[in-house]
Structure 1
Amino acid sequence: MIAQPEPSSAAPEGKHASATAAADLVAPLVDALAPNLALRVEVWDGTAVGPPDVPTVRIRSVDALRRLLWAPGELGLGRAYVAGDLDIDGDIFDAVAALRPAGSQLRIGPRQVAAVITAARRAGALARPLPPPPEEARPRGPRHSIARDARVVSHHYDVGNDFYRIVLGPSMTYSCARFTDPAMKLEEAQASKHDLVCRKLGLDERPGARLLDVGCGWGSMAIHAATRYRARVVGITISREQRDSARQRVAEAGVADLVDIRLQDYRDLTREPFDAISSIGMSEHVCRARIEAYFSGLVSLLAPRGRLLNHAISAVGGAKMGRRTFMGRYVFPDGELLDVGDTVLAMEAAGLEVRDVESLREHYAATLRHWVANLEARWDEAIALVGERRARVWRLYMAACAVGFEDGGLAVHQVLGVARHLDGTSAMPPTRDGWDTGPVT
């Protein structure tokens, strides 16, 4: 049970009686919807329930309660936060960690219905559902068709390159970094990740090798492979803003003769031969039903003994970002996380020999904390670029993901496969020793 209401020091002078009454109205509803909530809850009039030494959730409007009534769980919480009806004071990570059980377990069972309806009526929250914030995605058309995938990708990635520069920093890399030293800067850790991928793919052994980077983002992996290993790279993306920015960055890096950035779906690739393929943060958009076909299509482009590295977020047993989830509506519509075991099986079914599996879970938690810090440090600038609601989407989603990686609910794996050869040779090094070179300058 939550604590009894108490007047906040911020409550308007002379209004403690009415403020306490308001908190009395809200407390039973919060208790019914989210029992044992380990947070301080402050009502719109300044009164609060809960201990003072924990993060505070501020219910700024009765509309927050309306959203929770009509969408109990993380979607209702997310809508209320994005709309500004609910706010979080204090450490965002601690608050999300406390809210996470409530977000996944908010359910109104038969025994709670009467109490919830009574409390909602008294609090003034018993009304028709509010329209969701306009940042919520509702993609149409056949799921994972080329046209729908393009719209979904645009929803997330075409929010403005300037906004991504704030969040991602100079590296402009939107995937897990690799901190070989906890004191590393984010840009150094991203270079370390890129170098690890290059070495796993054997680019250090074959200067001038031909690399396909699927879902190339803003071109950072392609630029790294070209500048450090003289790889000839084809990078593909279906985000126009990413394509335009990546081409500019390639030219500025002086490797336009080695890197070709294309606006192209992976399903439209011709049978071009490649010595190596990197798929970093891409297969989460493919879905389990199509993952074997995804790898089979890529394997058909690989030269004998060619290597493919898949770097992807994973979840035990898999997880779909469904229509009732915050992530599915606001962040990655149609996204799906695979169990790493399913990824391995799909790569093997596509004809690859899986040679290495590595988890970078803790590294992604650290990466996300850097991104949240970047966003918070330039919050006003970010709002000027994309609006407060979208900035709130990003702050909440990145903090929630960081908590997920820290508590093990999420993971990220690099899985390395080699195209089988008739004679059984793989051209793989005998050990991992040459892959880890420490910080990359």
Structure 2
Amino acid sequence: MSNAIAQDLMTIADIVEATTTAPIPFHITAFDGSSTGPEDAQYKLHVANTNAVSYIATAPGDLGLARAYLMGDLLVEGEHPGHPYGIFDALQEFYHCFKRPDATTSLTIMRTLRKMNALKFQAIPEMEQAPAWRKALINGLASRHSKDRDKKAISYHYDVGNEFYELFLDTSMTYTCAYYPTPDASLEDAQENKYRLIFDKLRLKPGDTLLDVGCGWGGMIRYAARHGVKAIGVTLSEQQYRWGYEEIARQGLSDLAEVRFMDYRDVPEKDFDAISAIGIIEHIGVGNYSDYFELLNSKLKPGGLMLNHGITYPDNRPRHAGAFIDRYIFPDGELTGSGTVIKHMQDNGFEVLHEENLRFDYQRTLNAWCENLKAKWDEAVELVGEPTARLFGLYMAGSEWGFAHNVVQLHQVLGVKLDERGSRGDVPERMWWTV
């Protein structure tokens, strides 16, 4: 950085060069006509206006970049917005390029940002949720996973619109990790195979009863009902409930399958033969795991089986998901390691029989969803608007990248409720299902 530049106002390219170590993985152009970075870079970023600078300057990191991208103020060339997978490698490299400028240059940057009016807070994108600390001030700390707040959090993500989800999910409307019988299997076959795996792990047979907590659009309970099991599913998403109710009736399964718009904590029935929990634990809160597993244990017969299927971290160190995930994807969502899940199952009446990591299956699942969204991009934008369509593309592609790089995992944990004598009844000693 020359003394002349340090004393005068800077261009956007000057600011990038002053805060990074070359080479950076992007070619960056800006509204002021400046540019920097390799011209042959695979990805090109265009800072379209001062709004983009404001978003990034007032919320450094993922949150500011996401706001600018979602609002169309930061443009990306080189990848489709419905599936921007590869850019996450470039972003990781970009983050490693950042450096702290000297004091004189920092003052010049601040003076430049003030001059272009880029230090003002922009209007928050309308789909962004309030941060957790603000919700706590409004609702009280004790209400973080109250029934009302959980209902609002679930509705935020899952009530975007059934027609939108139909664009990228398979015909069963399953929004959880599939289980691929072969790497090149179709998404629909892989989701059916996932339900088959869970059904078999739970040793379900005609005449048994199943409770599916966090049932989504009802894929698991419809699968169970088609195989003669009396199944009840509960969801806090009204749109999922309505779609699931109509699909159960359409398939002629109403005698065996029932979906309820209900909190799992309010289910009155007990003595189920099995419980499936597919993608709900991410919304429970780590501090509530004991109550969660204790309650579900109380709903089972002795010898009854429970399968918990959920996203985890690859270790058990506590951490926050980050502002982007909390404000845009899963408000109040929390993850932990599979060891923590197993500990709380064991501490609350379950003998853990088996666990496995399906992270590569979730990588394939997310890839399929992204490709479907990419193929139906124009319809998605028409249905929900470009910012929301971009949000889902960004989230799903980022998650695909995360599973591929072991940032997150997907664990199925199978447990049995023991009787008072410590017996698991007729549950076999060895694995009884086929992979």
User: Does the TM-score normalized on the shorter chain lie above 0.5?
Assistant: yes
For structure 2, the 5+ residue unaligned runs are 2-8
**Paired position in structure 2 for 1:439:** none
Structure 1 partner of 2:339 = 341
Deviation, 1:208, is 1.8
Q: Which moved more, 1:420-429 or 1:397-406?
A: 420-429
Deviation sequence 1:139-193 (CA, Å, 0-9, x none): 5522111111111111101110000001213121000111121111101111111
Q: Which amino acid aligns with 1:85?
A: D
1:79 matches 2:80:
no
Query: 2:309, 2:412 within 8 Å by CA — same for their partners in 1?
Result: yes
Unaligned runs of 5+ in 1: 2-21, 437-441
Greater RCO, 1 or 2 (C-alpha within 8 Å, sep 6+): 2
Deviation at 1:46, TM superposition (A): 6.8
* Equivalent in the alignment of 2:254: 256
Q: How many residues align?
A: 410
Separation (CA, whole Å) in 1 of partners of 2:303 and 2:365: 33
Q: Which amino acid aligns with 1:75?
A: L
Distance in 1, Cα, partners of 2:308 & 2:164:
27
1:378 is matched with which residue? Answer: 376
Letter in 2 for 1:406: A
The CA distance in 1 between the partners of 2:408 and 2:199, in whole Å, is 25
Q: Larger deviation: 59-68 or 72-81?
A: 59-68
Q: 1:240 to 1:261 in 2, by over 3 A?
A: same
Residue 28 in structure 1 maps to residue 14 in structure 2: yes
Change (3 A) 1:144 1:216: same
> Is 2:120 the partner of 1:122?
no
Structure 1's 163 and 319: CA in aligned 2 closer, same or farther, altered over 3 A?
A: farther
**Alignment partner of 1:421: what SS?**
coil
- Does the CA contact (< 8 Å) of 1:186 and 1:367 recur in 2? yes
Paired AA for residue 167 in structure 1: F
Residues in 1 aligned to 2:345 and 2:352: alpha-carbon distance in whole angstroms: 7
1:119 maps to amino acid? I
Q: CA deviation at 1:381?
A: 0.5
Shift of 1:101: 5.8
The one-letter code of the counterpart of 1:77 is L
- Give the C-alpha shift of residue 342 in structure 1: 0.5
The 2-side partners of 1:193 and 1:113 are apart by 56
* Match of residue 430 from structure 2: 431
State the shift of 1:207 in Å: 1.8
* Contact 2:13–2:35, Cα closer than 8 Å, also in 1: no
Separation (CA, whole Å) in 2 of partners of 1:326 and 1:350:
33
* Partner Cα distance (1:33, 1:192) in 2: 49
Return the offset for 1:433: 5.3
Structure 1's 108 and 381: CA in aligned 2 closer, same or farther, altered over 3 A?
Answer: same
Q: Which moved more, 1:74-83 or 1:425-434?
A: 425-434
CA shift, 1:68, in A, is 1.0
**CA distance in 2 between partners of 1:422 and 1:396 (Å):** 49
Cα distance in 2 between the residues matched to 1:330 and 1:423 = 48
**What is the TM-score normalised by the length of structure 1?**
0.87
- SS of the residue aligned with 1:343? helix
Aligned AA for 1:221?
M
Residue 147 of structure 1 aligns with an amino acid whose one-letter code is D
What's the offset of the Cα at 1:94?
1.1
Q: Residues 221-260 of structure 1 correspond to what in structure 2 (within 5 A)? A: 221-227=220-226, 229-260=227-258
1:60 deviation in Å? 1.8
Output one character per residue of 1:70-120: Cα deviation in whole Å (capped at 9) or x when no partner.
Answer: 1111111111111111122223111122214656x79886x5665345235
Deviation at 1:35, TM superposition (A): 4.6
Shift in CA distance, 29/330, structure 1 to aligned 2, threshold 3 Å = same
| TM-score, with length taken from structure 2 | 0.88
Q: How does 1:198-209 map to 2 (within 5 A)?
A: 198-203=199-204, 206-209=205-208
Amino acid at match of 2:14: P
Residue from 404, 411, 432 that aligns with 2:409 = 411
SS class of match (1:93): coil
Aligned residue runs from structure 1 range 13-24, under 5 A: none
Residue 63 of structure 1 deviates from its aligned partner by: 1.6
Check 1:435–1:400 CA distance in 2 against 1; reply closer, same or farther (3 A cut): same
Give runs of aligned pairs for residues 235-314 of structure 1, distance below 5 A: 235-314=233-312
Q: How much has 1:432 moved relative to structure 2? A: 3.0
Distance 1:275 1:35, change over 3 A: farther
Which whole-Å CA distance do the structure 2 matches of 1:260 and 1:235 have between them? 6
**Which stretch shifts more, 398-407 or 311-320?**
311-320
> Deviation per CA, 1:290-337, whole angstroms, max 9, x where unpaired?
011001001000001100100000012356555x52111100011000
Name the counterpart of 1:194: 195
In percent, how many aligned pairs have the same letter?
38
CA contact (8 A) 1:88 1:95 kept: no
Separation in structure 1 between the aligned mates of residue 387 and residue 350 of structure 2, nearest angstrom: 44
Counterparts of 1:114 and 1:187 in 2: how far apart (Å)?
59
| Cα separation, 1, equivalents of 2:97 and 2:118 | 17
CA distance in 2, matches of 1:406, 1:112: 37
Moved more, 61-70 or 394-403: 61-70
**Distance verdict in 2 for CA 1:116–1:258, change over 3 Å:** farther
Q: Work out whether residues 309 and 416 of structure 1, in 8 Å CA contact, stay in contact via their aligned partners in 2.
A: yes
Change (3 A) 1:120 1:373: farther
